[in-house]
Amino acid sequence: MPEPQPFAEALSSSPQLFARLLPTVYFDKYLSLDPPIRPSLRSPTQFRPCSINTSALPNTFGSSVVRMGECIAVCGITGYIIDSTEAGPSALYTNVDIVGRTGPPQSELMSMSEWMYETALATKLFDPVQLRIEDTAQTVVLQAQIQLLSQMYSGDVAWAALLAALAVTRIPKAIPADDEETLTAYFGTEPVVRFSKTETTKLELNYEKLPWCVNFGVMDDTGLVLADLEGRVEEVSVEGRITIVTSAGNSSIQNLSIFAGKSIISKEHIRQCISFAKHRAAELDSILNSQIYQSNGNGL
């Protein structure tokens, strides 16, 4: 019969195993230090480092790659021309997907897609009038395809990718079609047009300071507010969530989602999070603006 393992040895397994088996205890061990710190070595109010690249994808009207901590999202904006009578309430359709995954989308992603569509519609990111094609009753409709490249993902990274891509989007001018492929494909009554490959106009957004999405967690036992949750340990240990979409500067907020779980979320928590969110939005604005200033290409 094999020798039983000494008790002390069996308990001193790797930290990763500890994190997988008892994530809440693992998390509490870090937070009980003085000053409290998270397993990612961020302080409770510290946000993840963020990097943004724009206009990297060819054959798009606009594109971006956003990285926040371990989450990476790529957004490509394309468009198509439809008769105005067929246009729905929105001029922008968003789809979120995970790269490399086959099969039907996970319900969490579908929920995120719907959230992005509704938020984009309600925040009125741009005036759809600028997408109308002159002298015809046709309009351009934009489609944003957001790909999540990492195992970990969150709505705020996907939203940031969308905003950054829209900030550099240029709409190609519509010119009369002369190629047989387009002429034979269209069955409507409007003049047949196609996108120019050379002339573009910048998409004008309604916001000078963009409405970024920022997420927070609220611990249920201590009421501690944690900025920018990431990772399985944090997601399992922190049930209370506050997600805010807001731009820096003015007093208006575009989206506020609160799920209390078992936590007690007070007005003070909400005030604190809104204030942090506005600071973060200003920080993200400057990261994006310095990127746009440095880069010189456009999608086409």
Partner 1 sequence: MTVLDITRPSPASAITSFLYRVDGSASWKVGTAHIIASVSGPIEVNKRDELPDVATLEIVVRPDVGVTSTREQFLQDRIRRVVAPVIALELHPRTLIQIVVQIVQSGDNKILNTISLSASINATYMALLDAGVPLRSTVSATSIIYYTTATSDASKTNVLVDPTRAQLEQIEKDITSVHTIAYELKGGKIERLLLSESVGSFTEDQVFECYDTAANICEETNRTMREAITKGVQQKSRWREA
The neighbour count for residue 282, using CB atoms within 10 Å, is 15
Minimal CA–CA distance to 239: which of 220, 221, 267?
220
Rule CB under 8 A: which residues touch partner 1? 89-90, 107-108, 110-111, 113-115, 117-119, 121-123, 239, 251-262, 264-265, 267, 270-271, 274
Alpha-carbon Rg for the chain in angstroms: 23
Name which of 28 and 220 has its Cβ closer to partner 1: 220
Give the DSSP H or E segment for 120.
Answer: helix 107-123
Name which of 159 and 195 has its Cβ closer to partner 1: 159
Contact in structure between 210 and 281 (CB atoms under 8 Å)? yes
Name which of 65 and 131 has its Cβ closer to partner 1: 131
Least distance in angstroms from the C-beta of 31 to partner 1: 21
Name which of 201 and 206 has its Cβ closer to partner 1: 206
Q: Kindly tell me the sign of the dihedral angle through the C-alpha atoms of 251, 257, 93, 122.
A: negative
Name which of 120 and 171 has its Cβ closer to partner 1: 120
Least distance in angstroms from the C-beta of 51 to partner 1: 29
Least distance in angstroms from the C-beta of 135 to partner 1: 27
Whether residue 35 is preceded by a cis peptide bond, meaning omega within 30 degrees of 0, is: yes
Contact in structure between 277 and 227 (CB atoms under 8 Å)? no
**What span, in angstroms and rounded, lies between the C-alpha atoms of 225 and 38?**
12
* SS3 category, 67: strand
Name which of 139 and 247 has its Cβ closer to partner 1: 247
Least distance in angstroms from the C-beta of 106 to partner 1: 9
**What span, in angstroms and rounded, lies between the C-alpha atoms of 287 and 112?**
24
Least distance in angstroms from the C-beta of 184 to partner 1: 32
Least distance in angstroms from the C-beta of 122 to partner 1: 4
